[in-house]
Amino acid sequence: MLIDVSTMIPPNELDLVTVGHFAIDTISSPKIIPARTTLGGSATYVSAAAAKLGAKVSAISKVGDDFPNKYIKWLEDSHVDLAGLKQLQGFATTRFALKYQKDWKRNLQLKALAPSIQVNDIPNSLRAKAIHVAPIANELSINVVQQLRKLTRILSLDPQGFVRDFNTQGNVRPKRWMERSVLELIDIYKSSQDEMKTVTGIADAKQAARKIQDYGAKIVIATRGLYGSIVLFESAFCNVPACRPQVVLDPTGAGDAYIGAFLAEYTRKEEPLWCACVGSAAASFVVEGVGSERFGDREETYARARKIYLKRV
């Protein structure tokens, strides 16, 4: 069942707003030598993927005075509205070091953390068909999510920043997180299969998805990298294949591009299976570049999506 996005839409309403920190990522792997520094953070990938599909997007985020002007220009050139971005003097931007091994397992280390996003950072005038909650380092509180719930008909969540714990060196470890008061507010839930296990304590992806849906989410998505994704809606599961990229250089941000593209299509009232196929296609372009350097345009993303649409089971 689609969530109704057509009732009383203000003329200046945004299609999608992403709430979470932009970041500066330094990425290295056997294929990325020397390490490359790039614009990162879920807000980057979600927003850019949706904007590539023609969605009217914005982001609410905080960065420090070390955030390069070239990143601001790149976001603006990518048609991401930055009215909700606050650049704070005397503070650092959230930074991560990402080191991939040959099998694409990742070591993630937090190098700096921007100030948290507070309720008073959310404009009361904000209206969006969909809002995506996208923390990367526990920068959002329950109160912020509750406020966002009041401003949209579709509230989406990727809890990755809630399931991360950091030791004194900034190394990331998974932590159990299952905040019922947040999950009950969510319409669309998306996370990796491993993160879904961390949230629910259940290893089986389908059983974990059912548990999350019991809290009220209408659509639950578990991404599985090269194995595609599992989508639960209307009490039924669908396996969506991964789109085959031309080359895999860097998987950073692929899941975020997936949900950004999914939401761009969903706010147009497309059916969830097509949305998931477009999400898979968007993710396949991101892995062909390093960091946020590669996104497919609308037509080439749709072309890849059509190839897997009839393969879903």
Can you say how many angstroms the Cα of residue 309 is from the centroid of all Cα atoms in its chain? 22
Percent of the chain residues past pLDDT 90, beyond the cut: 90
pLDDT(226) > 90: no
Q: Is 66 helix (H, G, I), strand (E, B) or coil?
A: coil
pLDDT of 9 above 60: no
Angle (CA) 17 18 20, round 5°: 145
Dihedrals φ, ψ of 131, to 5°? -125, 130
How far apart CA 47 and CA 52 sit, in angstroms, is 9
C-alpha closest to that of 144 among 153, 154, 130, 132:
132
Are 246 and 304 in contact, with CB atoms under 8 Å apart? no
Whole-number percent of the chain with pLDDT over 70: 96
Q: How many CA atoms lie within 13 A of 119 on its CB side?
A: 9
pLDDT one-digit tens code per residue, 56-89: 999 999 999 999 999 999 999 999 999 999 999 9
Using the predicted structure, report yes or no on whether residue 159 has a pLDDT greater than 80.
yes
Confidence of residue 301 (pLDDT cuts 50, 70, 90): very high
Number of other CB atoms surrounding residue 151 within 10 Å: 16
Which tens digit of pLDDT belongs to each residue from 170-207? 999 999 998 999 999 999 999 999 999 999 999 999 99
42, pLDDT greater than 70: yes
The pLDDT-based confidence of 310 (bands split at 50, 70, 90) is confident
Q: What is the dihedral of CA 166, 137, 286, 271, to 10 degrees?
A: 130
Q: How confident is the model at residue 8 (pLDDT cuts 50, 70, 90)?
A: very low
Contact 93, 63 (CB under 8 A): yes
Cα gap 178→181, rounded to integer Å: 9
- Residue 312 has a pLDDT of 58
Q: What is the mean pLDDT of the chain?
A: 93
Query: 268 to each of 8, 81, 274, how far by Cα in Å?
Result: 15, 19, 11
The tens digit of pLDDT for each residue in 232-289 reads: 999 899 999 999 999 999 999 999 999 999 999 999 999 999 999 999 999 999 999 9
Quickly state the pLDDT bin for 2 (edges 50, 70, 90).
very low
Say which amino acid occupies 267: T
Ordered structural domains, the chain, with CATH = 14-308 (3.40.1190.20)
Q: How many CB atoms lie within 10 A of CB 161?
A: 20
120 C-beta neighbours (distance < 10 Å), count:
9
pTM above 0.85, yes or no: yes
